[in-house]
Amino acid sequence: QSALTQPASVSGSPGQSITISCTGTSSDISAYNYVSWYQQHPGKAPKLMIYEVSNRPSGVSNRFSGSKSGNTASLAISGLQAEDEADYYCSSFTSSSTVVFGGGTKLTVL
Amino acid sequence: EVQLVESGGGLVQPGGSLRLSCAASGLIFSSSWMYWVRQAPGKGLVWVSRISPDGSTTTYADSVKGRFTISRDNTKNTLYLQMNSLRAEDSAVYYCTRSQRGGLDWGQGTMVTVSS
């Protein structure tokens, strides 16, 4: 199972909006609505930000939103803040009953 | 609040074995799908294995199939990962995770280093 494809890096200025894409195949992202997004700060464990494509867990800012179209899922962050600077990973359930992650995207807040 | 606390990591020689444990609290453990995910230093997240709530169904990544065994003890709210025939490329932080509607809750991780 190959990793989902994410851009290596994205950047934006405080207050701006950014989008991170996550491209898979017909065996994962487009086949299931079990797409999740995780935020990871250096030296810390990942934190769930989005589950089931577009749902936010309690406590996650509504500045974070998720969507999916075909084989590609997206994470949008609006009103960028310095604390949003982190690595972001997407994941999806697959037709092999496994889970696949994206390679990760480093978000830099300029 | 869900708490997942891993233990059992450490330094092991190539070809050696190690058993990781994960103590769970704040959740109905016996109803939860549980996963192990690992992250090599400076690298991305990689799914390793999963186990059904009753332990009857297990799935593994190809890279660990035949070498790692996931198990659980619902009476102790504890998840395990038995790792045999360890290789240098197995060196990573290993995270215990709980799956709920496709999203994962994470422990703090335990480091495994395979080196002579």
Region A81-102: mean pLDDT is 96
CB B76 within 8 A of CB B70: no
Distance of CA A31 to the CA centre of its chain: 17
Report pLDDT for A77. 98
Which residues face A29 on adjacent strands? none
Distance of CA B92 to the CA centre of its chain: 11
The residue type found at A27 is S
What percentage of residues in chain A have a pLDDT greater than 90? 95
pLDDT digits (tens, 9 = 90+) for A20-32: 999 999 999 999 9
CB B102 within 8 A of CB B28: no
Confirm or reject contact between B55 and chain A (CB < 8 A).
Answer: no
Exposed e or buried b per residue across A51-76, where buried means at least 16 C-beta atoms within 10 angstroms of its C-beta: bbbbbbeeebeeebbbebeebbbbbe
Region A55-59: mean pLDDT is 94
Q: What is the DSSP letter of B88?
A: G
Question: Distance (Å, rounded) from C-alpha A92 to C-alpha B33?
Answer: 15
Report pLDDT for B101. 85
pLDDT digits (tens, 9 = 90+) for B60-115: 999 999 999 999 999 999 999 999 999 999 999 999 999 988 889 999 999 999 99
The strand pair at B110-114 and B10-12 is best described as parallel
Contacts of B59 in chain A (CB under 8 A): 96-98
A92: Cβ contacts below 8 Å, ≥ 6 apart: A4, A22, A24, A28, A29, A32, A34, A35, A36, A73, A99, A100
Region A40-65: mean pLDDT is 96
CB B113 within 8 A of CB B89: no
Q: What are phi and psi of B10, to 5 degrees?
A: 160, -165
Region A35-58: mean pLDDT is 96
Answer yes or no: do A99 and B35 touch at CB < 8 A.
yes
pLDDT at A1 over 80: no
| The total number of residues written for chain A in this structure | 110
pLDDT at A110 over 90: yes
Closest CB from A32, A33, A101 relative to B45: A101
pLDDT digits (tens, 9 = 90+) for B1-14: 999 999 999 999 99
| The total number of residues written for chain B in this structure | 116
CA distances from residue B73 to A32, B22, B55 in whole angstroms, order as listed = 30, 10, 9
Contacts of B109 in chain A (CB under 8 A): 45
Among A97, A109, A95, A107, smallest CA distance to A49 is for A107
Confirm or reject contact between A93 and chain B (CB < 8 A).
Answer: yes
Instruction: Retrieve residue B72's tokens.
Output: 């659980």
pLDDT at A81 over 80: yes
Report pLDDT for B102. 84
Among A57, A34, A62, smallest CA distance to A47 is for A57
Instruction: Retrieve residue B33's tokens.
Output: 């799908």
* Summary mean pLDDT of chain A: 96
pLDDT at B29 over 80: yes
